[in-house]
Amino acid sequence: PPCGPVENKKVLYGRQPYPDNYVDRRFLAELRRNVGVQQLRYWSVAREAGLVGQQVSCVAVFVALWSSLDGGALPPAALLWGGLLAALLGYGLHGALGGGTGGRTRWADLQSAAIFLAFTFGFSPVLKTLTESVSTDTVYAMSALMLLAHLLFFPYARPSPPGSLSLNAALFGSVCLASRLPGALHAFAMLTWALLLFALWPCLLQRLRDRAPRAFPWAAALVSLAGVGGLSGLWPGGSVLLLLTLLALTLACPLLLVRLQRHKDNIHGPWDEAEIREDLSRFLD
């Protein structure tokens, strides 16, 4: 590099007696490492990872309920009464936790629920025969893919309201499975529980996370236990696999993330892209 009193300036246009790739001694002096990196705490990460585990458990609960209905071990009337009780308890808990309702009254909520139940019950015979021309293996494969898409695209950071892609995938998979049940009442009960598990439960869980953070882990653990218990009577090996998956998601993966954070090494310096920080508010009036 040339020697002389001429100072190297960081300008885009302007002739200087230096090559384009020249850097002086001050270049590395501006090096900064791990700017803005937040230190993660294990239990905070494990708490957030519980959202993933409980959503996997919701899918397991739904599959267990469907299998019980399909095999005749669970009558549809009992499932409907159980769904009604769960809906009333969840609605009461949601209201007790406080928060805005978007200007809706209880009467409006009751009307919406009645309209949904009436339309679902009326179209249950149609849904029951929706996939008669499709082979059972294809229906099961489509259902598995849709439930997997539900887990992949679920908005875990903010599950209320559920993402449209995730919710639609779960409901499509539910319709496919419900069409293979013995009767129209079975399909109606299954679709009602699909709405409870995939649409309403995430909203209640989000309210628990915001308003009652201490109760949130217990609620997620309760759903996880329900999923493991539901699969244990149908497929013991599957329940063990689900249990190991939940332990890995909620305990092992957060521990791995916290341990790997110490190896984080992001560098920042004068080679970063330039940021224009000019006040442009005068052009927005």
Residue 28 lies in a domain: no
The confidence score (pLDDT) of residue 47 equals: 87
* Alpha helices (H) along the chain: 42-71, 76-96, 106-128, 136-153, 164-178, 184-195, 201-211, 216-232, 236-247, 253-261
Mean pLDDT of 15-27: 74
Residue 164 lies in a domain: yes
Torsional class of 183: left (φ above 0), alpha (ψ -120 to 50), beta (otherwise):
beta
Q: What is the pLDDT of residues 222-232, one digit of tens each?
A: 999 999 998 88
- One-letter amino acid of 193: W
> At a CB cut-off of 8 Å and minimum separation 6, what does 203 contact?
94, 159, 160, 161, 162
CA distance 21 to 79: 72
159: preceding bond cis by omega (within 30 degrees)? no
Task: Specify the number of domains making up the chain.
Answer: 1
User: Among 193, 162, 164, which Cα is nearest to 177's?
Assistant: 193
Residue 38 lies in a domain: no
The DSSP code sequence of 213-232 is: TTTHHHHHHHHHHHHHHHHH
Chain position carrying tokens 């519980």 = 50
Cβ pair 228, 188 in contact under 8 A? no
Pairing of strands 32-33, 267-268: antiparallel
Residue 20 lies in a domain: no
Residue 45 lies in a domain: no
More confident residue, 116 or 7: 116
Torsion over CA: 88, 91, 94, 98 (sign): negative
Mean pLDDT of 91-117: 79
Residue 274 lies in a domain: no
Mean pLDDT of 34-50: 83
Mean pLDDT of 88-98: 87
User: Among 62, 93, 48, which Cα is nearest to 189's?
Assistant: 62
Residue 281 lies in a domain: no
Residue 164 is encoded by which pair of tokens?
């449209």
Chain position carrying tokens 């875990």 = 156
Tell me the C-alpha to C-alpha distance, in Å, between residue 78 and each of 68, 177, 185: 12, 19, 11
Residue 110 lies in a domain: no
User: Among 64, 40, 59, 266, which Cα is nearest to 170's?
Assistant: 59
Q: What is the pLDDT of residues 147-170, one digit of tens each?
A: 999 999 998 888 777 778 999 999
Torsion over CA: 264, 270, 272, 274 (sign): positive
CA distance 45 to 53: 13
Domain that holds residue 81: 54-90+116-212+220-261
The confidence score (pLDDT) of residue 275 equals: 64
